[in-house]
Amino acid sequence: MKIAVCVKVVPDPSEITFDPQTKTVSRRNARNILNAADLNALEWALHLKAHTGATVWTFSMGPPFAAQNLADTIAMGADDAFLVSDRALAESDTLPTSLALAKAIEKAGGADLVFCGDETSDSATGQVPASIAEHLNYAQVTFARDLVLEPEKHAVRVTRELEGGQSLVESDLPCVISILSGSNRPRYTLFATRQGARASFKPKVWGIADLGLPREVVGAAGSPTRVSAVTAAPSAHRESLRIKGPAREAARKLAEALEARGAFEGVH
Amino acid sequence: MPRVPPESRSDWRGVLVVAEHRGKALMPITRELLAKGHDLAERLSTTLNCAVLAADPAPLVKEAIAYGADRVFCAASPRFEHYNTEPYVDLLAPLILKERPEALLLGGTRNGRDLAGRLAVRLTSGIGADSTDIRVNTETRNLEMVKPAFGGLILAAIVCENHRPQIATARPNVFSPLPPDWKRIAQVTRVEVPEAKGRPRTRVVRETYEPEGRARIEDAKVVVCVGRGIGSPERVETAAELARCLTAQLASTRPVADLGWVPHNQMIGQTGAFVRPSVYIGFGVSGQVAHTIGLAGTRTIAAVNKDPKAPIFAMADIAVEGDVSEILPAFLEEVKRRSKGAAQGALPERPPQA
């Protein structure tokens, strides 16, 4: 059984800043990390590997430095890693991005399961997993909280989490599954193990020519959408009534302030 | 559709909303999208259409019309009893290529996103995902789909200029539904459902929902929210008791949900729920943008935090600087004292809310 896990290298969300003058997002001080939900996806794959002996390969589309983060996936237990990297891919929206990842998975021989995180912390569209599934012509199940392989049936049972409910879905393989962020605890790897992997492991690197993708279908040219304008989010600033002091007094003043604003209407 | 050159773009007219439902009634998100769709259709001088795929579409069709659809495409089949990707895509893609809507609105819900990602590739078009606003340029008929990015630090405007349909998804509670008009009349078109070629690759075994009475966090009028500063699951329990006393919903930030102290479906923020309560009281919430982006519609924001520089104070109407571990129990007592007083007629009549 082969499991492909798609991971994205993103700037650490807590370290990104926005300059309203230049209207640019600065990731200069942000470390490059693996998107949190993708770690949940990788953890699921490694869990299945432990139980079924599956092979786990990770795939990422990004600049050359993403090779380091892919080495981290090897340190965690992945068997091999592939980096799709090409200047021509810059400014790709989710259509060419999902296409490039799908082509890489195909080139690597395809997979029985493709796991992705449910969404990324930077662009947060949540569309890539479903798009990859369509490019590959695989089945898809998204927002998985739990999954159980049914090898005799060549199928997988997935519990999808919906708003206010759940859907239990049975899917034939091959299948793309997007994994709910926070659905498990990604394993910890020792710093020494990660450093070792970073020093010794080099992922396979493929450009668009290796994947048989012409320039017109990637980058800005291949993207139906583009960002036409970027602004700082509007200020949510409000004038505050400030309350300090001993707890009991503060609590009383808080209650008064809320009551003055009609906050307790309809309560008891 | 591959690139649609400007001269052919006039072939693409109309706004299409794909309905989400659980059997008898439309999901609130669909009513909200119909309202936005109605607004866009008016500006573009075109029609608002709704696609209803269900085992028994009739009640849903009626509701879609009441909430603003000028035309409903309905497809009846047992295979549409529950949402399932491929039956939906296999019916909608040919319908869209035939009817050529210039804009397609889907929910930024789990099922909506499941559908959008696949449909966009099937149709070779683009998506402005999780839009918090959708504007339109009536000259070019291009949508401007605005969404927060980088944890809510920036607003990006997405356009899909040369491909059709332009696909936009929006999250629950971003748009408000129109009041229903049950006397509205609209065109209903039955869509033929082709014979299934074997069983679908994915099959819904069963769907389970939370009990009807259980309130959605999106509908909460009063929210008690806990952030990392709450400190412990025991204190979360105190906050839960406070919520009960205030007839409020308990919510949390992302870190607290990830710790497992509050269920994920009570999380407010960019990757959780957007709420529009009258009152939000945050305990130990620092105010990261990825969380506060979900609060923008709140009437009165109160926050308790021991850090005077906590970002939440910049957007709070009431800013309480102090130790949550002391103030929360004190506030709970205060609330209990007041409601007991009210029950005994000790408090004066409150004026009606303005």
What ipTM does the predicted assembly reach?
0.90
Q: How far is B334 from chain A (nearest CA, A)?
A: 6
Q: What pLDDT score was predicted for residue A181? A: 87
Chain A residue with minimal CA distance to B223? A263
Residues 6+ apart with CB under 8 A from A36: A117, A121, A181
**What is the per-residue pLDDT across A114-156, written as a single tens digit (0 to 9) for each?**
999 998 877 777 889 999 999 999 999 999 999 999 989 899 9
Which of B79, B125, B167, B202 to probe the A interface (max A CBs under 10 A)?
A: B202
User: Rounded mean pLDDT of chain A?
Assistant: 92
Q: What pLDDT score was predicted for residue A122? A: 74
The tally of CA atoms less than 13 A away on the side-chain side of residue B36 is: 30
Q: What pLDDT score was predicted for residue B1? A: 58
Distance in angstroms (rounded) separating the CA atoms of residues B28 and B177: 8
Q: Which of the residues in chain B have pLDDT under 70?
A: 1-2, 150-151, 212-214, 342-354
Regarding beta strands B279-283 and B300-305, do their DSSP bridges make them parallel or antiparallel, or are they unpaired? parallel
Percent of chain A at pLDDT > 70 equals 96
**DSSP result, B169-228:** EE-TTSS-PPPP-TT---EEEEPP-PPPSSS-SEEEEEEEE--TTSPPGGG-SEEEEE-G
**What is the per-residue pLDDT across A174-231, written as a single tens digit (0 to 9) for each?**
999 999 988 899 998 999 999 999 999 999 999 999 999 999 999 999 999 999 988 8
- Is the distance from CB of B168 to CB of B200 less than 8 angstroms? no
| B301/A238 touch (CB, cutoff 8 Å), yes or no | yes
Q: What pLDDT score was predicted for residue A143? A: 95
Q: What pLDDT score was predicted for residue B348? A: 47
Residues 6+ apart with CB under 8 A from B189: B71, B72, B73, B74
Q: Is A186 helix (H, G, I), strand (E, B) or coil?
A: coil
**What is the per-residue pLDDT across A246-255, written as a single tens digit (0 to 9) for each?**
999 999 999 9
| B117/A17 touch (CB, cutoff 8 Å), yes or no | no
Element (H, E) at A199: helix A191-200
Contact with chain B for residue A169, Cβ under 8 A: yes
Q: What pLDDT score was predicted for residue B81? A: 95
Q: What pLDDT score was predicted for residue B344? A: 58
Instruction: Please say if the pLDDT value at position A171 is more than 70.
Output: yes
Contact with chain B for residue A267, Cβ under 8 A: yes
Chain A residue with minimal CA distance to B313? A240
- Is the distance from CB of B268 to CB of B172 less than 8 angstroms? no
* Among B72, B77, B78, B48, CA closest to B60: B72
Instruction: Please say if the pLDDT value at position A34 is more than 60.
Output: yes
| A224/B293 touch (CB, cutoff 8 Å), yes or no | no
Q: How far is A261 from chain B (nearest CA, A)?
A: 8
Six-digit token string for A132:
């990859």
**What is the per-residue pLDDT across A88-102, written as a single tens digit (0 to 9) for each?**
999 999 999 999 999
Q: What pLDDT score was predicted for residue B352? A: 44
